[in-house]
Amino acid sequence: MILLVEDDVAIGSSVSQGLAARGFPIRWLRRGAELLDQVNAGEVSVVILDLGLPDGDGLDLCRQLRAQGHHMPVLMLTARGTLDDRLEGFEAGTDDYLPKPFAFAELVARITVMARRAQQLAPAPISFGSLSVDQAKGQVLRHGEKLTMEPKAHALLLQLAARRGALMPRQTLIDTVWGEDSSITDNTLDVSISILRRRLAQSAPELAVRAIKGQGVQLVCSLIP
């Protein structure tokens, strides 16, 4: 799915309708705050990101996305078009850049290339016991089926499963799931860990989250000897 983050209603609706009409599955968000949750919920293959959003800067969002280990291509839309702006964008981890106003045909051409490249470059899924982790899509599958849950719990599961049972320090988990600039407390992490534990107890009893004091958090799978 293509995720479009754009607060301008005219651009947002024409791009989302236009891409949908050409057969691209697309979701349009008007605010940046929902981007990471959507990506962590899985199935996002390409992100189209507006630079100036009412609740933040597209470049900061792109940095957060990369810090969380998401590698899908990001196309930045922006009215600012100087060389410095473009270089700053690439530094933040964007792959391509389209200045406004743009011709719709050019957007479609670039998105098509990015979607194809995303498919080719996607790293092989990581397996861990009953789980398969597709980091490019931000997706965790259990015996091939999607495990749905609250977005932060899903992001935790993704990070822990990708490390295949290795201990992850609590601060690293907080930085990758909530972002380095977040001021969330240990308590918030514990709440999300309990949500994840409850979900696993219901639908994936072979998996458990183990927290070791002073060392970190790990995912254990009883199918692995």
User: In the complex, what is the shortest distance from the CB of residue 100 to Ca ion, in angstroms, rounded to a whole number?
Assistant: 9
How many residues touch Ca ion under the rule CB under 5 A: the total is 3
Distance from C-alpha of 129 to C-alpha of 132, rounded to nearest angstrom: 8
Question: Is residue 12 involved in binding Ca ion (CB under 5 A)?
Answer: no
- 28 within 8 A of 54, measured Cβ to Cβ: no
Tell me phi and psi for residue 130, to 5 degrees.
-80, -5
Per-residue contact track with Ca ion, 31 to 70, x per CB under 5 A?
-------------------x-x------------------
Torsional class of 23: left (φ above 0), alpha (ψ -120 to 50), beta (otherwise): left
Residue 108 per-residue DSSP state: H
Q: Which stretch, 1-9, 55-63, 133-141, 165-173, contacts Ca ion (CB under 5 A)?
A: 1-9
Nearest approach in angstroms of CB 78 to Ca ion is 8
How many Å apart are CA 217 and CA 157, to the nearest integer? 11
In the complex with Ca ion, which residue's Cβ is closer, 50 or 95? 50
| CA 161 from centre of chain | 15
Using CB under 5 A, list all residues that contact Ca ion: 7, 50, 52
